Structure formats: structure tokens, C-alpha cells
Structure 1
Amino acid sequence: MTTRLILDCDTGSDDAIAIFAAVTHPDLDLVAVTTVNGNVALEHTTENTLRALDHVGAGVPVYPGAARPFVRPDFPIPRDILNEGSEFQQALLDLPAARSTVEKQNAVRFLIDTYLDDANADVTLVAVGPLTNVALALATEPSLAQRIPRLVLMGGAAFVNGNVSVAAEFNVWVDPEAAEAVLSAGIREVVIVPLDATHSAPLTSVDCDAFDALGTPAATASASLIRHRLTHGQDGPEGSPVHDPMCVAYLARPDLFTESVEAYVSVETTGSRTLGQLLVDTRPWRTEGSNATVALRADHGVYRDFLHTAFE
């Protein structure tokens, strides 16, 4: 059966690949995209989203969302200081300027209206950026927690180091209060894809060659974006974790994750050294029940095959 999804994202390079895959994979139906401040500013995440959709000829509606974190006025360290001197995150993707335009309704209102409609009881919410939009929707309409059938999110580092601090992964660190609010809201099924999983199945130049050989717009653009990550990322030229499409891949290939745990997951919102840390409590004597499934390892072959199927 085809899985319907909404993609909530802060479109940089890996978000764009997730958009391509969500549009082109035969087992997925992308209902809408909502954008949020994150990798780059909201105006750029929105423009990049439109560029990605236009590139593959997809008439999917785009709803702009939050331009700042849920509680904080800015990132814990402002973006221009955090990314100073880095070529990894570019404000605009190297794709033609968008021809399509955004919807008038904002992302938060769209999420509320969508999930209050019984016709959308099967729509998975995939969040691959900071969780600001989702937290705002839940704060505005708390009953939404019982209406969202499944949330799959990219964020956190469970048992490995973070990528923005020793403790924290970027998406959760950007808006830790939003992440904590979402994880404590009581959504019935939450699947978390942290750095543990994404770093276990990096994509390589060989994968890029295979995508280039397909020759489709999604394939060649993805190969180019991955090569940029290989050149300018923190992990070197041998392989790069391409985080966000893994959440989309899981919807079509539930065999993607080879190891996962059920846990009570929360977020550190006050620590001076641990702000944004994802706390994954698997202790059998804990008092709280599990609120999420946390993926720990992924199969590179399954991931590559998912993308190949989407892009061919």
C-alpha cells in the first residue's frame, strides 16, 4: 500500500534528497511539505523546498512555518557564528530558482487542520528539522497528539557523540524545548532516527556514481548534493551520513533498521554542556513507559536500494 506523508523540513541538502525520494518513490505519496527555520533561515528553507519540488516536477503544496525556535529568540549559538567559515551549509541549493509559490496558510495551522480531519488519519508526519512547527501545533491544539497516527523524526544522538556539541545533534539542539514538548505530548507512535543510525550507513562516491548513471533529475541532483557533503562535511571523502532521507526510506522499507530499542526519551533543556542532549532511557526499572522507538543501526544496502528505486 502507498504511504501518505507530510514532510516537515528545514531544507538543506539532505532534506532536498528526502523530498526527491518522497515524490518519486512508487510506494510513497507526499501530501505536503511544511518548512521551518533550521539549516538555513526560513526564507531559504522555503525557497530550497520549492526548488527541489520544481526540479522533479512535483506540484506538492508548501506551507511556511516557524522562523525562530519555540521558546528561545535564536539558536543557543546564532547561526552565523556557528557556521562561520563553513562551506557545508549553503543558504540556497544549486538548483534553478523556484517557479512555484507557497500556500497562504501557515504550517502550524495546516498541520492542525489536516490532523483534525478524519480523512487524514493515515498520514504519517515525518519531521527532519527542528521540531518547532510540531511543538507549536501541539501547543495550540493539544488533542493533536491523539490525531497524529505516527511521527518519524530525524534528531538526536542516542549512544554516540553529537554533531554540534559532544552531547547534542543539530535538530534537537536548535530547539530543545520544542523537541521535549513533542516527545512528552503522548503521540501514539514515535520513531526516532538519531545519528547512531544515520552514521551507520553513510553514502559514498560509488553510490553517487550509481545515481548519476540513472540520469533522472532526482538522481543526478542527489548525487551532486551528496558529493558536496563528501567534500565539505565533517566525515571526510570516504562516506557521508545523509540523515533525512533515512526517515522517508523507513516508510517504504521498514527493514531498513537492523537494531532499535524501545525507550523513554526526553531532552535536556537547561544543561550548560549538555543542552539538546537526547536522553534515551532503556533501564528496565525506570518509572516511565516507553514513548519512542529509537533506531540504532541501518542497512546500507537497503538504504541505497530504496534511493535507487526512487530515482530510477
Structure 2
Amino acid sequence: MGRKIILDVDTGTDDAVAIMFAALHPELDLLGITTVNGNVALANTTDNTLRVLDWIGRPDIPVHPGVPHPIARFGFPGGRHFEQDDENDPHGTELPIPAPTTAARDTGAIEYLVETLRATTEPITLVAVGPLSNIATALAVDPSVAGAVDELVVMGGGHAVTNVSASAEFNIWADPEAASVVFSAGFARRTLVTLDATHRALIPQRTCEALDALGTPAGTAAARFITRRIGAYEHTAVGAAPVHDVVCTAYLVAPEVISTQHLPVAVETASPLTVGRTVIDTRPGTELVPNAHIALDANADLLNELLLSTFARDVTS
């Protein structure tokens, strides 16, 4: 089997593409998926995740619902940089594929993460592409579980590029205290894929057409999801869009899809003006200790090739 991974998601369109990539790529062994509040409410992120797995013929992958709110800011607004379900919303509440016939597991995300990481005899890669509420809560239950993770890959933050505010990217902004906990925890390796990188790896409409032409469930769904994103991003990138989360799963099989620097990063949790900011210290000779391998650039051509080759697989036939 391939590299063992657990995905932590807030499934909208880009999470969906990342899930399909992880579930179909032969070099990855997707052990389970945990869901969290984020792009949409927890019930919808869970439902969307189940839709994706049913659609591509992988209902065997267990889905565990997680934390329905930030760990500290229970009244934190679910603010986004778009109105939900309008033309600028890259996700929509429900993904445009059939409702699931399978159900989420009774075991919640926190119990699943803690027990799985405690019990494993092999390293597991943890890939978190939503707010970090589940990961921080699992660490609060048992900080030692970080030792079972060979690498934590996070989609979040930005240095020169942000979205939900002038200072912050949505995943980090949505639960900044959780992100602060995760960035200071004892993971052996931490890789942060920022908006700076994902906006360098755009997926154009011609790739959507090629995906649809594959005739596979994953190709068809990816074309739908990414086409919606292209429409929502029309004001910033004509005819193309970032698909942030799949950059993280693509990195697992092709590390060269991103370029990283080992740098210090901290999360702002106090200032109303900059809450959720990932403060990345790029100064030469800084005295701060690097704590993450931070991606600020990515290879668009390689990402597009990986999507086409991976989504050509059809496990339903």
C-alpha cells in the first residue's frame, strides 16, 4: 500500500478535488477523513464528503464528523469573502453530485484521530485543508499523538496573498487559536501550503474540458467543481482558478509541485485588524527558529498533469 494519510476537510469544491485525488492515487492509502466546520456548516461538510466518496466508488473510506465551531471564538462570525451560494461563492452549500447513500461513522473525529494515532505502528501523514479545530482539539486531548505523524501538511495562510481579510486566509482566520496551537505542537515536520503557492498553480478551463473528456466519475466531478471555481474567481484570474486543497495531496506524491522554505511562522490571535494573519519571517538571519516548511510558489503545469493522470482512474467500473 501507499503512504498512509488522514484527511481533515471542510468540504467545498477544492476539498472535494483533494479527496478524490487522495482516494484514487495508487501511491496514497487514505485511511479516513475527518470533517470540520468551515466552508459550510459541519453537517454540509460531512454530507459533501460522503457525496464525493460515493460518487467515485470509495464508500469504504470512513468519514468522522468533528468540531462544529472554533475552539475559542464560539461567536466568531462565519464570515467569508463571498455570499454563500451566489455567483462569487466557489463552493455552494451542496456539491452538484447526488446525495450520499452511505452515512458518517458514529465515532467522532477527535476520538478517531486520537485512537488511530495512539494505536498506529506505522507513521501517518495528516493533511489538514480546513480550519484546524479538529487537530487542535485532538492535541488538547493527547499532545503525544503528534509523535505518530511523520508530516503535518496544512493548506492555509498567506504571506503576500490573502482572501478573507487584508491580513488573513480563511482557514487560519476561521479558528486562529487552533492554528496557533497546531503551529506550536510537537510535529516532526510541518508543511504549510499558502495562498501564495496555490495562486501560482491555477487550473484553466481547458483542463476542465480535458477532465470531463476522461469520462470517469472523478473527471466529471472535478470538471464541474473547478468550472464553478473559475466562475467565482473571474474577477481575479480570467479563465482559471486556484484549487487550493489539491495542491496538498498532489505534494504527497510529487513534492516538486511546490517550492518550500524552512521559516518561522506564528498566528496572530489578538489584533482585530490582523487576526488570523500567518506571520512568516522571511528576513535573512532572523533569530526566530524555523517551525514550518512554507510553500510560497508552485508548479501549475505539473499540478494539471497530475490531476489528469489521477482522475483517469475509475474504480467504479
What TM-score do you get using the length of structure 1 for normalisation? 0.95
Please give the alpha-carbon distance, in whole angstroms, between the structure 1 residues aligned to 2:84 and 2:305: 36
Please provide the CA RMSD for this pair.
1.6
Task: Letter of the 1:136 partner, please give it.
Answer: T
1:156-211, Cα deviation, whole Å (9 max, x unpaired): 002x1310011100000000000000001121100000001000011010111111
| Distance verdict in 2 for CA 1:26–1:80, change over 3 Å | closer
CA contact (8 A) 2:65 2:104 kept: yes
Answering whether residue 101 of structure 2 is matched by residue 99 of structure 1, we say yes
Please give the alpha-carbon distance, in whole angstroms, between the structure 2 residues aligned to 1:86 and 1:135: 32
1:206-245, Cα deviation, whole Å (9 max, x unpaired): 1111111111000111011100111123534321010000
Please give the alpha-carbon distance, in whole angstroms, between the structure 1 residues aligned to 2:286 and 2:214: 49
The Cα shift of 1:287 comes to 3.6
Please give the alpha-carbon distance, in whole angstroms, between the structure 2 residues aligned to 1:71 and 1:273: 18
Written as runs of structure 1 = structure 2, the 5 A alignment for 1:160-239 is 160-233=160-233, 234-239=235-240
The Cα shift of 1:282 comes to 3.1
Answering whether residue 64 of structure 2 is matched by residue 66 of structure 1, we say no
Task: Letter of the 1:246 partner, please give it.
Answer: V
Correspondence for 2:137: 136
CA contact (8 A) 2:6 2:125 kept: yes
Task: Letter of the 1:91 partner, please give it.
Answer: T
| SS of residue paired to 2:57 | coil
What is the count of residue pairs matched by the alignment? 308
CA contact (8 A) 2:124 2:148 kept: no
Please give the alpha-carbon distance, in whole angstroms, between the structure 1 residues aligned to 2:155 and 2:80: 23
| Distance verdict in 2 for CA 1:263–1:65, change over 3 Å | same
The Cα shift of 1:118 comes to 3.2
| Distance verdict in 2 for CA 1:229–1:146, change over 3 Å | same
Please give the alpha-carbon distance, in whole angstroms, between the structure 1 residues aligned to 2:240 and 2:15: 18
Task: Letter of the 1:33 partner, please give it.
Answer: I
Please give the alpha-carbon distance, in whole angstroms, between the structure 1 residues aligned to 2:98 and 2:68: 24
Correspondence for 1:114: 116
| Distance verdict in 2 for CA 1:208–1:5, change over 3 Å | same
Structure 1 unaligned runs (5+)?
none
The Cα shift of 1:285 comes to 4.0
Please give the alpha-carbon distance, in whole angstroms, between the structure 2 residues aligned to 1:95 and 1:126: 24
Structure 2 unaligned runs (5+)?
313-317
Task: Letter of the 1:72 partner, please give it.
Answer: R
CA contact (8 A) 1:146 1:187 kept: yes
Please give the alpha-carbon distance, in whole angstroms, between the structure 1 residues aligned to 2:169 and 2:103: 31
Higher mean C-alpha displacement, 36-45 vs 65-74:
65-74
CA contact (8 A) 2:126 2:149 kept: yes
CA contact (8 A) 1:192 1:294 kept: yes
CA contact (8 A) 1:209 1:223 kept: yes
Correspondence for 1:147: 148
The Cα shift of 1:247 comes to 0.3
1:31-72, Cα deviation, whole Å (9 max, x unpaired): 100000000000000000000000001010000000000111
Answering whether residue 267 of structure 2 is matched by residue 272 of structure 1, we say no
1:70-105, Cα deviation, whole Å (9 max, x unpaired): 111043x33489636733131111110110111111
Please give the alpha-carbon distance, in whole angstroms, between the structure 1 residues aligned to 2:308 and 2:84: 35
Task: Letter of the 2:131 partner, please give it.
Answer: P
Please give the alpha-carbon distance, in whole angstroms, between the structure 1 residues aligned to 2:181 and 2:46: 24
CA contact (8 A) 1:22 1:30 kept: yes
Task: Letter of the 2:157 partner, please give it.
Answer: G
The Cα shift of 1:300 comes to 1.0
Task: Letter of the 1:148 partner, please give it.
Answer: V
Please give the alpha-carbon distance, in whole angstroms, between the structure 1 residues aligned to 2:124 and 2:309: 22
The Cα shift of 1:301 comes to 1.4
Correspondence for 2:29: 29
| Distance verdict in 2 for CA 1:24–1:172, change over 3 Å | same
CA contact (8 A) 1:150 1:187 kept: yes
The Cα shift of 1:284 comes to 4.4
The Cα shift of 1:281 comes to 1.6
| SS of residue paired to 2:73 | coil
The Cα shift of 1:273 comes to 1.1
Identity fraction in percent: 44
Please give the alpha-carbon distance, in whole angstroms, between the structure 2 residues aligned to 1:268 and 1:284: 22
Task: Letter of the 1:41 partner, please give it.
Answer: A
CA contact (8 A) 2:264 2:290 kept: yes
